[in-house]
A = this chain, B = another copy of it.
Amino acid sequence: MTRWPERVDVRDVGPRDGLQNEAPVPIAARVGLIDALARTGLARIEAVSFVRADAIPAMAGAAEVMAAIERLPGVQYSALVPNPRGAQLALEADVDAIEVVVSASETHNRKNVRRSVADSIGGIAEITTLARSADDAVPVEGIISTAFGCPYEGDVAPERVAQLAGHLIDVGCTSVSFGDTTGMATPRRVHDLLDALEAARVDITTIGLHFHDTRGTALANVLTGLERRVVRFDASIGGLGGCPYAPGASGNAVTEDLVHMLHDMGIDTGVDLDALIDCARLAQKIVGRELPSAILRAGARTRTHPS
């Protein structure tokens, strides 16, 4: 099978991107979820965010979470940081990787972090300097949000996103991923962005894609990425998170739905799907609401019924 990559690297962002958009849950529950995810074979978990607790109460206690989790070898536990102060705290908490965010849309960036895109890039440069000077240099991933469209501005030019990716690499990001913050991507938009990245000489095999299923297209978008040789995808266990712009709508792509599809396509993820489904059940229990996971409801396609 040479149609798609043989192996794909799935990052679960449920403990951070997911839970950040849910009502706060106890630190012990966050630790339990991270530990359960690590035992499924996932190689990367977005575990925490070092933000001000008054700004995002659901992410309070990031250092406590990092101190309490079992650090399985081979698993990268990352933290999102909004500024150099957050990066300092993340490094003190011994995270394996740092993530920084900037929006492709000026309006979204100002709404999200109250500064211009240029100012955000300046802050990211400080963060990468800090991360490089850590005892063991810590990788910094630049995440470009609204990369497939902005809920305020509408379409965002792929060339602008590609240019921004170049800026992030210029200021020291070790990788770049592209977030479909409000689920505006379709296979056409994915091709358009990848075309622009290739034109800008970005190596597609190093980037990450982060889709939301707000409009039902997450797995079609992943498929498009796979056909273009993208091998790094984000998803959220159980679909934790929702969409702040559309109450009741789905948010992040669902990790177990993604892994289920990849495995049936003959693509290795290193993840135990049954263990992942158990994690989705745990996530649902933690937040106390039904999550939008298809596999949680229907089971894997290999589950047959007695005739």
Contact = CB atoms under 8 A, between A and B. Distances in A.
Contacts of A151: 304-305
Contacts of A189: 264
B245 A305 contact: yes
Contacts of A134: none
Among the interface residues A218, A245, A307, which one has the most CB atoms of the partner chain B within 10 A? A307
A264 B294 CA distance: 24
Given A3-B191, A154-B304, A304-B152, A216 B184 contact: no
Interface in A268-307: 294-295, 297-302, 304-307
B264 A186 contact: yes
A257 interface: yes
Nearest to A267: B188
Interface string A216-227: 111110111000
B220 A183 contact: no
A217 B153 CA distance: 30
Contacts of A125: none
Contacts of A150: 304
Contact of A224 (B215, B223, B294): B223
Contacts of A215: 257, 260-261, 294-295, 298, 300-301
A7 to B, nearest CB: 15
A217 B215 CA distance: 13
Interface stretch (A24-32, A45-53, A84-92, A248-256): A248-256
A261 B299 CA distance: 26
A132 interface: no
Nearest to A295: B215
Among the interface residues A107, A219, A248, A305, which one has the most CB atoms of the partner chain B within 10 A? A219
Contacts of A294: 183, 213-216, 249-250
Contacts of A301: 149, 183-184, 186, 215
Nearest to A257: B216
A223 B4 CA distance: 15
A115 interface: no
Interface string A82-100: 0000000000000000000
7 contacts: A186-B301, A215-B257, A215-B261, A215-B295, A216-B218, A216-B254, A220-B223
Give 6 nearest A-B pairs by CB, closest first.
Answer: A216-B294, A152-B307, A216-B257, A246-B298, A186-B264, A249-B297
Interface of A: 1, 3, 107, 111, 149-154, 183-184, 186-189, 191, 213-220, 222-224, 243, 245-246, 248-250, 254, 257, 260-261, 264-266, 294-295, 297-302, 304-307
